[in-house]
Copies of this chain bind each other. A is one copy, B any other.
Amino acid sequence: MNKFKAIKEAAYRANMQLPDLGLVLFTFGNASAADHASGVFAIKPSGVAYPELTPEMMVVVDFDGNVVDGNLRPSSDTKTHAVLYKHWPGIGGIVHTHATYATAWAQSQRDIPIYGTTHADHLTIDIPCAPPMADERIAGNYEYETGLQILDYFKQHNLDYEEVEMILIGNHAPFTWGKTVDKAVYNSAVLEYVAKMATLTEQINPEAPRLKDSLIKKHFERKHGPGSYYGQAAR
Residue numbers of A with Cβ under 8 A of B are 25-26, 28, 45-48, 72-73, 76, 98, 100-101, 103-110, 115-118, 132-133, 135, 138-139, 142, 171-173, 186, 189-190, 193, 196-205, 208-209, 211-212, 214-215, 218, 222, 229-233, 235
Contacts and interface: CB of A to CB of B under 8 A. Distances in A.
A47 B231 contact: yes
A146 to B, nearest CB: 10
A37 to B, nearest CB: 29
A28 B118 contact: yes
A209 B109 contact: yes
B138 A201 contact: no
A213 to B, nearest CB: 9
Given A118-B173, A172-B116, A73 B233 contact: yes
Given A104-B200, A232-B47, A218 B142 contact: yes
18 contacts: A25-B190, A26-B186, A45-B232, A47-B232, A100-B196, A104-B197, A107-B198, A108-B205, A109-B209, A115-B171, A116-B171, A116-B172, A135-B214, A138-B214, A138-B218, A142-B218, A202-B204, A203-B203
A104 B201 contact: yes
A104 B142 CA distance: 34
Given A98-B118, A193-B100, A212 B132 contact: yes
Contact of A215 (B106, B133, B232): B133
A149 B171 CA distance: 33
Contacts of A139: 214, 218
Nearest to A25: B193
